[in-house]
Chains A and B, each alone.
Chain A
Amino acid sequence: MKALLFLLTLASAAQAADDRIKPSTRGLFDRIIVPVIPTPEPEEPLPAEPVTAPVEPTPVPKPPMVAHKTVKPQANPDLRIQYLERLIQSVRSLPETERMRLQTEAEAVFSGVCRSSDPTLALSCSFEAAAHICSISPNQGACLSMIDALVVERLNANRFISARERYEMMARGEPMNKALDYRYGSLVAAFSLSKAGACNANDFHCLALGIDDYCQNKARQGHLSYQSCAALIGLFIGRND
């Protein structure tokens, strides 16, 4: 597992560093590192309804916006670990086209309808948007898990690239996604080389336990928030099956 992730990270770093290297076919790295807008594949046709009208999906009944006096404890350790396990499974279970669609939609959400200088407002908006985006998904549960991680990833992307670096990259016309992939790869490599990441690649429960422990530690050290760490590692591992 460690060796595989390390190799993947190195490969992603090399690819992010050098634009000239392009795989001739859409291989594993291409799919993971270079998110492109997917072309519909004949063997996995998307449902007709969402393809024709993805921007305005059928209205979904909204949950009541009533303040609850008692809150269901969503964040206790067992539930967190179950959730992370589900996140990896979900990302892995989704077809590549669906993953790409979610990635594109998540980017569109924060650069469009949910763009706000206040992250709380952006988040509230993204909850609504997530429900809309996943209403057309064949696997809504998996879609919500992945879009959750993508929302957190988008909100925290600027913490991985400083304002100066962003400016320089924009001046050079370089895409930021490659630099982000490189940095996320470094995080996952560090996780997989740590004690917490010593798991079999298909042992999702072990991986979820490790991510929870590792990310709590990262948050306590002040390097990264728990949710952004967990989301990034979960997404990366889920995508690299």
Chain B
Amino acid sequence: MIRIGLKSLVLGLVVAGLIAFAGVQHLFDIRRVLSLQPEVLWLIGCLASFISLGLAFFLRSGRESPYHLAIGRHEYRRPGSLPLLTVKGYGIWMGVQDEESASEFGRVSFALISGLGLLVFGLIILQNRSLVLLQHFYHNMTKDYGHICRKEGEEIVVAKPPKMGCELVKKAFALGYTKDLGDCADDPADQDEEICTHRQWDEPAAHYSYRLVERFIKTLLTGSSPLKVDTEKLPELVESHVQGFLGVPRSVIHIFTDLPEPGSWLTKARRRLHPNHCQDELRELRFRMTEQGAEPGAQLEDTLNHLLFSPAVGRNADYCRPYIIHWGAAANTCSELMSKGEAALDTYDVRQSIDAVMKRPKPLVSFHCLVAAGSAPAHGTLSYAGQTFKVDAVTLPTAGPDGIFPSNELFAAVAQVFVPEFAYNNLDRNRPLNLSEDRFQSEIARSGDNLMLAKFELLRSSDVLAGDQWVYRYPQYMDVYPWQPHIANFVSRFRKAYRQNEEKP
């Protein structure tokens, strides 16, 4: 005969149920857990620890439960126990505490298991947004959600803003020039004494809440509800909310490049383990000339960060997580995606990510290839699950002997892989008059070594990204070259074109 104390049994079942629910909802996905803010994880841990200790103390986990559940053969059951289920000679009985002890979790195990359950419960109910809601909990609970009916006999004078243009109409009406006030007439609803259905001045909050719920249910049942529930679209709507709740991305943009992945093994490991690494790297983003010895992949990553993700250079920055960079890809990846279609998805291991996004309404999927010089640019489409996705490939510029890509060509190539018709030229520069090399030379030759800082100011008129590559011939000036205004100008124009391109059918 197995005898289990009721406290331990209930705790075990609740924890098992929570773990099963969280498992089914993929809440243990390490990417989801890491996407939570550290403060939220800290809050979950703290709450779980304190509440589990509290439960262990108040439920007297060290003592045996007053009731127990006995499972076994009929002849071993204790007299007076209540049968819950009996099948042939076996059954489940509920019994009271007696001299024969039931199995229970120990004091420590009880706290640990309840802590585990609370951790899982915290993961289920707490999101990044929860902290903000908690912060405003008191305010939200106490704020006035609607009008309060006035007391009997109480006069409330509310200064109404006059209707636009009505002053003259009313004056004309008073003088007899017009017989009709038209729209300027006082609203009759304001004049009639109606039964006030808002919260009564002495009505408890719970009663008012009950009335609101009752009214809502009545309107639903009578079909006069302004909230029209389209039952056909309901599953889709629920699924959409569930996907949003679980943090499933709305878009996935695959970028393939034949350049090797930059960074040390530690950086690469961090990229794989920490899904938000891309956001962290944005903090390190700087406006400067590419340093000697920089890896080609790092140069490409910097350019992508500036163009797409950096909030420091303009509005409309994208979130970096949907963008997946496939380093060291074959040079013909995009041509294969275009020619082989769906069959190529498994080759490049992208099907799973696309399937995840396809659960969302209006998914955004696209493929972009930035391959080294030698391959031709190509633009096409790929059809999958009844939808057509864009595939664009452009050629990276030829790197110089020092391995550095010309910055204007690299920016242009990356921009054109997302917006093929994008161009940035003389007409787009920040300042109307560009600074020619001859002009620069003549200006800096003036006044000898004096006016150095004003001469640096001249460089604002030379936009490397618009083609003023002559600046590179003066490496000593590149330390102080003002990259920020030029990059910001390029990026703002690119992002505008990118948004317009995305909105195209």
Contacts and interface: CB of A to CB of B under 8 A. Distances in A.
Interface stretch (B180-188, B375-383, B435-443): B435-443
A102 interface: no
Given A76-B476, A152-B457, A71 B287 contact: no
Contact of B480 (A73, A145, A222, A227): A227
A68 interface: yes
Interface stretch (B133-141, B339-347, B444-452): B444-452
B482 A226 contact: yes
A118 B432 contact: yes
B388 interface: no
A130 B447 contact: yes
B120 to A, nearest CB: 42
Given A77-B479, A227-B456, A231-B453, A68 B441 contact: yes
B206 interface: no
Contacts of A71: 441, 444-445, 474
A59 to B, nearest CB: 16
B314 to A, nearest CB: 11
Interface string B472-489: 001011011011100010
Contact of B287 (A63, A79, A222, A231): A222
B243 to A, nearest CB: 36
Contacts of B477: 75
Interface size class of chain A, counting residues whose CB lies under 8 Å from the partner chain: 35 or more
A214 B120 CA distance: 48
A124 to B, nearest CB: 6
A71 B451 CA distance: 15
A152 B447 contact: no
Interface size class of chain B, counting residues whose CB lies under 8 Å from the partner chain: 35 or more
Given A120-B435, A220-B286, A144 B451 contact: yes
Given A63-B445, A67-B438, A219-B484, A123 B457 contact: yes
A76 B477 CA distance: 7
B454 A126 contact: yes
Contacts of A145: 450
A127 B479 contact: no
**Chief secondary structure at chain B's binding surface:** helix
A144 B287 contact: no
**Chief secondary structure at chain A's binding surface:** helix
A63 B480 CA distance: 25
B454 A152 contact: yes
Contact of B456 (A73, A141, A220, A226): A226
A148 interface: yes
A65 interface: yes
Contacts of A69: 441
A121 interface: yes
Given A76-B476, A119-B461, A152-B454, A127 B447 contact: yes
B432 to A, nearest CB: 6
A74 B455 contact: yes
Nearest to B445: A68
Contacts of A25: none
A62 to B, nearest CB: 8
A182 B504 CA distance: 48
A152 B313 CA distance: 23
Given A74-B444, A75-B476, A151-B457, 9 more contacts: A68-B445, A71-B444, A74-B455, A120-B431, A127-B454, A131-B447, A151-B453, A152-B456, A220-B287
10 contacts: A63-B446, A75-B456, A151-B453, A216-B479, A216-B480, A222-B287, A222-B483, A222-B488, A225-B457, A226-B456
10 closest pairs, A vs B, by CB?
A222-B484, A227-B456, A226-B480, A220-B286, A67-B438, A144-B450, A227-B453, A75-B476, A76-B476, A120-B461
